[in-house]
Amino acid sequence: MKLRHAFTTLAVAVGLTGVFAPVAAADEPIASIDFAAEQGAFPVDGKSGYWVASPEHEVVIREVGDILRVDADGDNGSYYFRLDFSASTGPLQVGSYEHAGGARILAIATGLGCSDDYSTFTISRIERGAEGLTALDATFEQRCASPTAPALRGEVHYRR
């Protein structure tokens, strides 16, 4: 009888864990990056992918001062890149930003970077709360060293 009670208690506990687990997962931030680089697009050079924060891909999106930072780590840690979005006007807001107006995307991949960039990006949604960034939708295009150089294009999304 005690053994049956133990199995019943265990079954109920496992069942309740399943009921409450999605609530905990729903509180986790959701971050993703969808990107494609043309052959020769420095420093990413032909790499593409759709990465969502998961055990296989780490995607972290946050603000550091007036910079919007995207850190992405894929292929089980063997490939890493960072994108830093900034504008000469201070904190980023909804709108389009172009190279001529002071927009920048600092791209770094596997230790190589491009600081002489020609960038455009559009932020269609950005929200902040007491704990910082709470929502983001943005598209981007980054070219290194020349406005006609091969491009890295993509979009980033974040929800907390």
- Check which CATH number belongs to the domain holding 154 and give it: 2.40.128
Is there a contact between 43 and 115 (Cβ–Cβ < 8 Å)?
A: no
Q: How far is CA 72 from CA 14, 55, 148, in A?
A: 34, 12, 26
Is 127 inside any structural domain? yes
User: What residues make up the domain containing 81?
Assistant: 28-159
Is 1 inside any structural domain? no
Is 113 inside any structural domain? yes
**pLDDT tens digits, the chain, 160 residues: what are they?**
443 444 333 344 444 444 433 333 456 679 999 999 999 999 998 899 898 988 888 899 999 999 999 999 877 777 888 999 999 888 999 999 998 888 899 999 988 998 888 999 999 999 999 989 999 999 999 999 999 999 999 999 999 9
Name the token pair of 2: 């005690």
Model's pTM, two decimal places?
0.79
Please name the amino acid found at residue 140: F
Is 12 inside any structural domain? no
User: 11: helix, coil or strand?
Assistant: helix
Is 17 inside any structural domain? no
Number of domains comprising the chain? 1
Is 150 inside any structural domain? yes
User: Which distant-in-sequence residues (6+ apart) come within 8 Å of 80 by Cβ?
Assistant: 71, 72, 73, 74, 109, 110
Is 102 inside any structural domain? yes
Is 99 inside any structural domain? yes
3-state class percentages of the chain: helix first, strand second, coil last, to nearest 5 = 20, 50, 30
pLDDT of residue 10: 39
User: 66: helix, coil or strand?
Assistant: coil
